[in-house]
């Protein structure tokens, strides 16, 4: 089919666990996605390597690679000459082959990012606010998309393959928590931002929960090695996360699987609380405000918070304890290989948090459970925006796609 200027195969993929190609006719789309996925994973591969990995015939691989190269999606690299036979010619994804937009709408800030086919950030826009007002958010999105596209050549603009929106589901429920006028936040109930933008754009628009999108960014762009099954926590203004099973982002029938912010954990007073009420950065913000301090830096300077003081130490200890219990609870249901923690915070703070979680886990009775390894996320503060951009990339080019994302 022909969509958004990018030539794709003719059939959608079914089961993402099926990692072999097929030489049967009518399966071009599956085989193309398989090639793209392998090249994303390995960087560059020769046709012979792809044929060996996929069990496709050399002729089938040759036809696929030639057509994808002609479509401007693959690059031919310098030949590697051996002692015997013809030189091997590695192929890689062409960064100019496709472009993707990602829009993150958070409780305290919005971001708009443009990435290329290999995931390199070409441009990013940022807006901080006290709360996400619908009208102002739409203006930021429309003006930002227009601005980013204005800096592209006509050919690059033709190759925009989609926009992914990462935002909290039912965002109007957070009016009291973010200190926003309830009437203003209620306007989100009647605003279908995906449909509004889809009506104005000539490429697909997708929508996903912001924390789940961050999990998707770790899956697509992160340095996860061979991880196939992991639970993911993103600590932003509010804590959330996602679940990856069999190398695929899992959202469940309603898209709410991995709603980790709602997980019950021990609260500050020992009574049950939700993870979101203990591990969120909004809790640290509240503690700082109670001390009469300006906490704006938490949202405007995520790379460097400076000297925060004892409030940060207490927050890390309590958040880590809650995260440890959440990890153990999740491990009683699914045997995860790892628990990955990332967030809107400096890398040094993330390291402290992960180390404290690992320590807290050693104090919990886990008899009968295999506790996953606790690891730092590798994408960082922009994971939600990049996760938004990963939605069209995954849905249109990679094996499996992102089950819970929504498209027109």
My answer on whether 101 and 88 are in the same domain is no
Compute the C-alpha angle 33/38/39, nearest 5°.
Answer: 100
Task: Identify whether 62 is part of a domain.
Answer: yes
Q: Which of 74, 93, 112 is the last residue of a domain?
A: 93
Task: Identify whether 59 is part of a domain.
Answer: yes
> Residue 333 above 90 pLDDT?
yes
Q: Name the nearest CA neighbour of 145 among 95, 119, 110.
A: 110
pLDDT of residue 403: 43
Whether residue 389 contacts residue 1, with contact meaning beta carbons closer than 8 Å, is answered with no
pLDDT of residue 70: 94
Interacting residues of 28 by C-beta distance below 8 A, sequence separation 6+: 9, 10, 11, 64
pLDDT of residue 171: 86
Secondary structure of residue 205 in the 3-state scheme: strand
> Residue 11 above 50 pLDDT?
no
Task: Identify whether 18 is part of a domain.
Answer: yes
**Per-residue model confidence as pLDDT tens digits over 36-46:** 999 998 889 99
Tell me the pLDDT band of 18, cut-offs 50, 70 and 90.
Answer: very low
Question: What average pLDDT does the segment 368-374 reach?
Answer: 94
Task: Identify whether 9 is part of a domain.
Answer: yes
CA distances to 135, 170, 207, 303 from 192, rounded to whole Å, are 12, 11, 10, 32
Whether residue 209 contacts residue 240, with contact meaning beta carbons closer than 8 Å, is answered with yes
User: How many domains are contained in the chain?
Assistant: 3
Tell me the pLDDT band of 7, cut-offs 50, 70 and 90.
Answer: very low
> Residue 8 above 50 pLDDT?
no
pLDDT of residue 82: 64
pLDDT of residue 314: 97
My answer on whether 272 and 201 are in the same domain is no
Tell me the pLDDT band of 86, cut-offs 50, 70 and 90.
Answer: low
My answer on whether 311 and 239 are in the same domain is yes
My answer on whether 369 and 266 are in the same domain is yes
Task: Identify whether 53 is part of a domain.
Answer: yes
Whether residue 244 contacts residue 228, with contact meaning beta carbons closer than 8 Å, is answered with yes
My answer on whether 238 and 358 are in the same domain is yes
Please report, rounded to a whole number, the percentage of residues in the chain having pLDDT higher than 70: 89
Please report, rounded to a whole number, the percentage of residues in the chain having pLDDT higher than 90: 70
The domain that holds 52 is classified in CATH as 1.10.10.10
My answer on whether 281 and 208 are in the same domain is no
My answer on whether 53 and 119 are in the same domain is no
Question: Which has the higher per-residue pLDDT, 249 or 358?
Answer: 358
My answer on whether 115 and 259 are in the same domain is no
What residue numbers bound the domain in which 172 lies? 97-213+384-407
| Helix H or strand E segment including 325 | helix 310-331
**Per-residue model confidence as pLDDT tens digits over 224-243:** 888 999 999 999 999 999 99
Q: Which residue has the tokens 């995906």?
A: 194
pLDDT of residue 63: 92
My answer on whether 346 and 266 are in the same domain is yes
Whether residue 322 contacts residue 278, with contact meaning beta carbons closer than 8 Å, is answered with yes
Task: Identify whether 299 is part of a domain.
Answer: yes
Tell me the pLDDT band of 131, cut-offs 50, 70 and 90.
Answer: confident
Q: Which of 62, 93, 124 is the last residue of a domain?
A: 93
My answer on whether 227 and 374 are in the same domain is yes
My answer on whether 275 and 338 are in the same domain is yes
pLDDT of residue 175: 73
For the chain, give the mean pLDDT.
88
> Residue 281 above 50 pLDDT?
yes
My answer on whether 182 and 320 are in the same domain is no
Task: Identify whether 218 is part of a domain.
Answer: no
Tell me the pLDDT band of 406, cut-offs 50, 70 and 90.
Answer: very low
The domain that holds 198 is classified in CATH as 3.30.420.40
CA distance linking residue 351 with residue 160, whole number of Å: 36
Q: Which of 25, 59, 93 is the last residue of a domain?
A: 93
Task: Identify whether 120 is part of a domain.
Answer: yes
> Token pair for residue 140?
């930021």
pLDDT of residue 256: 72
Rounded to whole angstroms, the maximal C-alpha distance in the chain is 74
Question: What average pLDDT does the segment 156-180 reach?
Answer: 87
**Per-residue model confidence as pLDDT tens digits over 289-316:** 999 999 999 999 999 999 999 999 999 9
CA distance linking residue 382 with residue 80, whole number of Å: 37
Interacting residues of 307 by C-beta distance below 8 A, sequence separation 6+: none
């Amino acid at each position: 089919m022909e969509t958004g200027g990018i030539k794709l195969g003719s059939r959608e993929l079914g089961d993402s666990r099926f990692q072999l190609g097929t030489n049967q006719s009518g399966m071009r789309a599956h085989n193309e996605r398989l090639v793209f996925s392998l090249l994303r994973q390995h960087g560059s591969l020769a046709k012979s390597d792809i044929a060996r990995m996929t069990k496709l015939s050399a002729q089938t691989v040759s036809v696929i690679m030639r057509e994808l190269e002609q479509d401007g999606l693959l690059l031919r690299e310098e030949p590697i000459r051996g002692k015997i036979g013809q030189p091997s010619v590695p192929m890689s994804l062409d960064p100019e082959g496709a472009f993707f937009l990602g829009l993150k709408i958070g409780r305290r800030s919005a971001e708009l990012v443009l990435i290329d086919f290999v995931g390199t950030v070409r441009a990013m826009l940022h807006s901080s606010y006290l709360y996400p007002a619908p009208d102002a958010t739409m203006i930021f999105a429309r003006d930002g998309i227009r601005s980013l596209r204005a800096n592209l050549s006509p050919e690059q603009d033709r190759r925009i393959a989609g926009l992914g929106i990462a935002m909290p589901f039912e965002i109007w429920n957070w009016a009291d928590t973010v200190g926003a006028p309830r009437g203003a936040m209620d306007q989100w109930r009647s605003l279908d931002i995906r449909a509004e933008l889809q009506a104005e754009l000539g490429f697909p628009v997708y929508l996903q929960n912001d924390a789940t999108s961050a999990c998707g960014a770790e899956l697509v762009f992160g340095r996860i090695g061979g991880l196939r099954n992991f639970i993911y926590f993103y600590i932003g203004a509010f804590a959330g996360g996602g679940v990856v099973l069999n190398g695929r982002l899992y959202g469940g029938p309603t898209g709410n699987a991995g709603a980790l912010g709602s997980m019950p954990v021990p609260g500050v007073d020992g009574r049950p609380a939700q993870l979101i009420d203990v591990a969120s950065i909004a809790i640290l913000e509240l503690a700082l405000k109670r001390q009469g301090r300006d906490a704006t830096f938490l949202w405007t300077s995520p790379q460097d918070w400076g000297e925060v003081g004892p409030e940060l130490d207490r927050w890390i200890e309590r958040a880590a304890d809650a995260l440890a219990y959440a990890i153990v609870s999740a491990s009683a249901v699914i045997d995860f290989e790892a628990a990955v923690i990332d967030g809107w915070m400096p890398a040094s703070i993330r390291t402290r948090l992960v180390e404290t979680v690992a320590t807290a886990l050693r104090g919990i009775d886990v008899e009968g459970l295999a506790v996953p390894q606790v690891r730092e996320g590798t994408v960082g503060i922009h994971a939600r925006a990049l996760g938004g951009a990963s939605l069209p990339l995954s849905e249109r080019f990679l094996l499996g796609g992102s089950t819970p994302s929504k498209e027109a």
